[in-house]
Chain A
Amino acid sequence: MITDFNYHIPDATEHTRFMEYIGKMPSNDGPPIFGLHPNADLTFRLQESTTMINVLLDTMPKEAAGAGGMSREDIVKEKIEKELLPMLPIDFIMLDVQDRLKQLKGPRGLGEAGNLQLIPLNIFLYQELQVFQSILTIVRRTMVDMVDAIDGSIIMTPEIVDSINAVFDFRVPKKWQYDPTGAEISWLTMSLAGWIKGLLDRHYQLNNWVFKERPASFWMTGFFNPQGFLTSMKQEVTRQRKA
């Protein structure tokens, strides 16, 4: 597949020689001619097949009853009640968090904790916790709504139908990733399992940070605002230097 074909401008004046040269070119241009590693071809093919499989998934019939007599709604309801809802971490209580932040230590040499104002990364942590909590609230709300709508105690809205379809197909409900204006509010993943794992991992890092101590190494992927994280870090270094 990867050829050693020598790409150059043919040194000739006749039309036929040019045509001959062009005829010899490989039908597939390997990534190296663009300066890419041959692995780039592999990445491309993987993406192509993933896209194709996703399209195939979208074409699957939605209205047909599932195997074993259980309807689509029943499957989703059971999944949410037995698997997803019990998995969700408990809410952060912002008052507890604020108390805790007042005691949380900063980096070495950055004065005594006790004054929240003094430690930029702790302020950052508070902001992250607020965003995380808002996501968690949305997720819990949607899950409860889905179950209630399936039971018939609230009206089934197109949004809830969308969410149910997403959970059935192991996709992430739109409401968890985008706000009504279409802006991203959380992390983007292909599968529902990956998204839930992201939720739990993020909760783990934030929870440990706020209720135990600042981690030695940060999982930057788990922040909503990594630029803000780096800015806070710069502020801390600046203040350490000043002191």
Chain B
Amino acid sequence: MLKEVIQGDDGKIEGKQLSSPAEGVYIHGLYLEGAGWNKAEKKLEDSQPKELYYTFPILHVSAVSVAAGNPNQPGGGGGAKAKQELANLEKIAYSCPVYKYPLRNDRYLIFRVYLKAETNGAPQHPNKGLTAPMKWKLAGVSLLCTKD
């Protein structure tokens, strides 16, 4: 089984000419709604008042075989290990849906991206037991292809 794995690869966009990645594709033109994006730490943060959309940096989307792991990625050796990594990712990252339009329904869902959530995000919310990924899920955070 293959799964898209995404890394925010925004270091290269500004100024310099971007060249195609060795594997997978770069994608641009996405907007983040419901949360802000911390470029330096590559994670979600609360959006600023009146900032409804954030232009999302270029994404590197590639395929990783969950059964075989990724030989090019450090720590992506065996199948069990790759599965373990994915499980770990699910704990700290919000599985952010990418929609074609601001309408959030299954027809316009394209795929999902794991975005790192705040690791210390839980205490700022009054509800106990709310993990960081859950917070963003509740807030309806999503990546959109167009703003209107």
Q: Are A218 and B146 in contact (CB under 8 A)?
A: no
* Contacts across chains A and B counted by CB atoms under 8 Å: 104
Query: A230 and B110 in contact (CB under 8 A), knowing A39-B52, A40-B140?
Result: yes
- With a cutoff of 8 Å between Cβ atoms, the chain A residues found around residue B26 in the complex are 216-218
- Measured CA separation A218–B51 after assembly (Å): 25
Nearest Cβ on chain B to A99's Cβ, whole angstroms: 23
A237 touches B30 (CB 8 A): no
A100 within 8 A of B: no
Interface size for B (C-beta < 8 A) is 42
Q: Which residues from A are CB-within-8-Å of B47? A: 37, 39
Contact, CB under 8 Å: B29 / A39: no
| Chain B residues whose C-beta falls within 8 Å of the C-beta of A13 in the assembled complex | none
Give CA–CA (A218, B139) in the complex, Å.
28
| Chain B, range 2-25, C-beta contacts under 8 Å to A | 2, 4, 13, 17-20, 22-25
Q: Does more than half of chain A's interface fall in helix, strand or loop, or is it mixed? A: helix
- Which stretch in B57-65, B87-95, B115-123 binds the other chain? B57-65
Known: A216-B20, A217-B28, A221-B146. A233 touches B63 (CB 8 A): yes
In angstroms, Cα B100 to Cα A230, docked, is 14
Which one of A84-92, A155-163, A187-195 contacts B?
A187-195
B128 within 8 A of A: no
Q: Are B23 and A217 in contact (CB under 8 A)?
A: no
Q: Mark A56-85, 1 if CB is under 8 A from B, else 0.
A: 000000000000000000000000000000
Asked whether any CB of chain B lies closer than 8 Å to the CB of A35, the reply is yes
User: Please, which residue of chain B has its CB at the minimum distance from the CB of A105?
Assistant: B20
Q: Determine which of A39, A40, A216, A233 lies in contact with B51 in the assembled complex, contact meaning CB atoms within 8 Å.
A: A39
Interface string of A186-221 (1 = CB under 8 A from B): 011110001000000000000000000010111111
A-B interface, 6 closest residue pairs, ranked by CB to CB distance from nearest: A35-B138, A217-B26, A221-B145, A237-B63, A234-B63, A216-B18
Interface set of A (CB-CB < 8 Å, partner B): 34-40, 42-43, 46, 107-109, 121, 187-190, 194, 214, 216-222, 226-227, 229-230, 233-234, 236-238, 240-241
| Extra A-B contacts (11), CB below 8 Å, given A230-B111, A234-B63 | A35-B125, A35-B138, A42-B52, A43-B33, A219-B29, A221-B30, A221-B145, A222-B29, A230-B110, A233-B63, A238-B2
